[in-house]
Amino acid sequence: MELTITEKILRAHCDNKSVVAGDFILANIDRCLANDITAPIAIEVFESVVEGTDRSLFDNEKIILIPDHFTPNKDVVSAIQCQILREFAYKYNILNYFEVGRGGIEHCLIPEQGLVAPGEVFIGADSHTCTYGALGAFSTGVGSTDLGVAMALGKCWLKIPESMQFVFSGELNKWVSGKDLILYIIGKIGVDGATYKAMEFTGGVIKNFSMDNRFTMCNMAIEAGAKNGIIEPDKITLDYLEKAGNSKYKIYESDKNAEYIDIIEFECKNIEPQVALPPLPENSKPISEVNNMRVEIDQSIIGSCTNGRMEDLKIAANILKQQKIHRNVRCIIIPGTQNIYLQALKEGLIEIFIDAGAIVSTPTCGPCLGGHMGILAAGEKAISTTNRNFKGRMGHIESEVYLSSPAIAAASAIKGYITSPEFI
C-alpha cells in the first residue's frame, strides 16, 4: 500500500507495521517537551504514575523543559511555575533544561539546538509543537496529562491522521512569505478545515523555501485544526541539520501514489501578502484590501515562535532602516532565541530597531498569549507576527489583533496603520 510521510513515520514508531490512517497506535516517543505553563501539570501526572513503583523518567536526555511563556517571571505566580520546572529538572537531571538567559522560545530553540530530526515522533504540551514538521518529523501538541504519562513510559496514544496535500507552484509576489501562504490556506479552508489531519506542504515554491519559512508554515498548521504539518526533507533541510549539529535521522518521503483525503493546488502569482483580521486566523484578506481599510494601530509585534527567527528580523530591519516608528505606535521586537538575539546584535539589526524607535525584548512568548511585554488595553489594535488573534488573546477582551508577516508589521509600525512596504 502506498503511504504518506506521516503514515510511514507513525508506522515505524509502533509495534503494528501494517497500520494506516485512522488506526490507533501506542507510539514510541523520540522526544517530548513542556514549558512553564504546561510542565507543572505534567509533573503532577508523572509523579502519580511513578509513585510506589521503581519507574523514573523514560530517558532524561529525551525530555525538554523550557520556561518561555511568562518569563522572565512577570509575577509571583509565574515565578512559582518556573520554580516547579527548575526543581524537577534538577531532581531528575534533565539535560535539556533551558534556564532564562540560556534558551529562548521553545519552537525556535529546539530546532536551533539540533533537538529534533527527520523521521522522529516528537510530542509537546504546547499546540505549536507542530512546528518541527518542517524538518520532516511527526510533531504534535498534546495535553499535559498525555505528556506526564509519556515522560514516564516514553509512549503516547495517537490516531494516525489522514493527510491533506497543499501544492504551491509558480512565482512568489514581492513580500510574500511562508506566513502569507499559511494565512492564505487558513483563509480558504477555515480554522477547522484540517481538523485532525496531516497538512503536507509541497510544490516548487515550498522546495525553494528557506527553513525559516517552512517552520512558519508548519507552526500554524494547528490554526487550521491540523494534527500536524509536515514537509519532506531535502538538501535545504539537511544543510540546516548539519549546521545544528544533528547527524542522526531517518528520511521518509510520501509514496508517489499515496492516498490523500484532499489535494489542493495554489498558483502563487494569485497570492498577495495577507492580513488575518480579528477574531480568527481564517479572516485573511489581501494587503491591498486591508490597506484601503486604513486600520490604525497602537502596537506592532515582531517575534514569537512563528516569526522570531533571523530571517524575520532581517526583513523587519531592512524596512525599518533609516525610518522612524510612528509616534502613536509601540513597536516591540522579540528575537526567538539568545543566539538569534546575539546574531542580530552582531549584524547591527538591534541598532536599526532602536534607532527606529522600537524596543527589543529578551526571548519570550510574552505578548502572544497576553502574558506580558505588550498587553493591549480596551479598544487598542495590534498588528502582530504571532499566530492567534482570538478575542482577548493579547490583553483586553475589547482589543483587536491582526496577524501578518514581519514585512507588513514593520511597514505598519512606520505608517501607523496596516499597510505594506509597497505603500511606504
Q: Is residue 1 very low, low, confident or very high in pLDDT (cuts 50, 70, 90)? A: confident
| Full set of structural domains in the chain with CATH | 5-264 (3.30.499.10), 275-423 (3.30.499.10)
Cell of 333: 521586537
Q: Nearest to residue 147, comparing CAs of 125, 167, 130, 114?
A: 125
pLDDT for position 424: 83
| Interstrand relation of 274-276 and 284-286 (parallel, antiparallel or unpaired) | antiparallel
pLDDT for position 231: 98
Q: What is the pLDDT of residues 209-245, one digit of tens each?
A: 999 999 999 999 999 999 999 999 999 999 999 999 9
- Partners of 395 in the beta sheet? 376
Pure H helices in 281-324:
287-293, 304-307, 310-320
* C-beta of residue 385 within 8 angstroms of C-beta of residue 303: yes
Q: Nearest to residue 97, comparing CAs of 132, 67, 69, 124?
A: 67
pLDDT for position 79: 97
pLDDT for position 365: 97
Q: What is the pLDDT of residues 273-318, one digit of tens each?
A: 999 999 999 999 999 999 999 999 999 999 999 999 999 999 999 9
- Four-residue CA torsion sign, 393, 82, 330, 339: negative
281: cis peptide before it, omega within 30°? Answer: no
Collapsing DSSP to helix, strand or coil, 337 comes out as strand
Task: Please tell me the distance from the alpha carbon of residue 405 to that of residue 273, in angstroms, as a whole number.
Answer: 8
- Partners of 417 in the beta sheet? 296
How far from the centroid of its chain's Cα atoms is residue 20's Cα? Answer: 27
- Partners of 230 in the beta sheet? 200
- Find the length of the chain: 424
Pure H helices in 21-125:
39-50, 76-91, 106-112
Q: Is residue 31 very low, low, confident or very high in pLDDT (cuts 50, 70, 90)? A: very high
Determine which helix (DSSP H) or strand (DSSP E) holds 183, and give its type and residue range.
Answer: helix 178-189
